[in-house]
Amino acid sequence: MIIDSINPSIKTFLLRTFIVIGLILLINPFHVVEGGTRGVSITLGTIKNEPLNEGLHLIIPLITKVKDISIRVEKNEIQTQAASKDLQNLSIQAVIGWQVSPESVTDIYRKYGDLDDLASRLILPETLSAIKAETTKLTAEQILQQRQKLEDSILKEIRSRVFTEGVTVATFNISNFEFSKEFGQAIEDKQVAQQQAQKAFYLTEKAKNEAQALREKAKGEADAEIERARGISESQTMIAKTLNSEILHRQWINKWDGKLPSTLAGSNANFLLSLPNKGTPAP
């Protein structure tokens, strides 16, 4: 066989080489830090201050171990009870997005452990406290009308609480909130009353506008009649001022058809005289 024909010294070297490679593969002195994570190096229980960046790292087998910590955005759902400024109880459902700062990975691991412990011991308690603190600054009606303002104020408060711990809060969104049934009915009744009041106000304004329009129309017609009467009066006055006996005599001549009257009477006569027609003998 080929193995039997190999020099014993070479055979021994190959055997030792295979044993060393096997031991290396068995104890694995390498560690790969995946993308989006940082590695915490722990040697005999001592945590190294500097985190391991992404990539391949050589470690001391059986002495050093590496704990990977995600620096991606983590999300947690929250459901809690709170109260408004006017002491109305409400139920809030929200989602918070947060992430560990890369440079703070080792400090966070030293203080809190893994991310689940960080969320349960820091993120969620501080978020609940921030929600309860901010809802008491607004009335129930303001919470309904200013949802975005409430979200922004809660996000700002959470950031101020966890910033010193090396945690960055990316987002906070209220997915749903509900008040008590009694308060909900009161809001509905108020909205109905407001709608009815607005409708009554609209009808009143409409009636006022229609009455004003009628008054304006009547006033306009009256003013028009006055102007026409004034025009007629002024016209008659002007005509009366310009008439005299000569003008009247001239107008009478212009309108005469050239025929003499067939009767004649004095100003105080009580009888009529027939005037002879041309070619007819007088009686």
Same domain, 80 and 150: yes
- Among 70, 100, 116, the domain boundary falls at 70
Percent of the chain with pLDDT strictly greater than 90: 40
Q: Is 58 in a helix, a strand, or coil?
A: strand
| C-alpha angle 197-201-205 in degrees, rounded to nearest 5 | 175
pTM (2 decimals)?
A: 0.57
In a domain, 225, yes or no: no
The DSSP symbol for 275 reads P
Q: Residue 40: exposed, middle, or buried by beta-carbon count in 10 A (0-12, 13-18, 19+)?
A: buried
Name 102's Cβ contacts closer than 8 Å, sequence gap at least 6: 38, 51, 71
Name 93's Cβ contacts closer than 8 Å, sequence gap at least 6: 77, 78, 79, 174, 175, 176, 177
Per DSSP, helices labelled H in 171-275 are 181-242, 245-255
Amino acid at 235: S
Torsion from C-alpha of 201, 206, 207, 211, nearest 10 degrees: 140
Q: What is the pLDDT of residues 234-254, one digit of tens each?
A: 777 766 666 666 666 666 676
Which comes out higher in pLDDT, residue 258 or 17? 17
Same domain, 97 and 127: yes
Same domain, 58 and 116: no
- Average of per-residue pLDDT across 219-237: 78
- Among 70, 105, 120, the domain boundary falls at 70
In a domain, 211, yes or no: no
Residues 60/27, Cβ–Cβ less than 8 Å: no
Q: Which helix (H) or strand (E) holds 80?
A: strand 74-83
Range of the domain at 57: 2-70
Low-confidence winner among 16-25, 48-57, 177-186 (lowest mean pLDDT): 16-25
- Average of per-residue pLDDT across 28-39: 87
Rounded CA-CA distance 35/56 in Å is 11
- Find residue 82's DSSP bridge partners: 90
Q: What is the pLDDT of residues 89-142, one digit of tens each?
A: 899 999 999 999 999 999 999 999 899 999 999 999 999 999 999 999 999 889
273-274 and 263-264 strand pairing: antiparallel
CATH code of the domain containing 163:
3.30.479.30
Same domain, 53 and 80: no
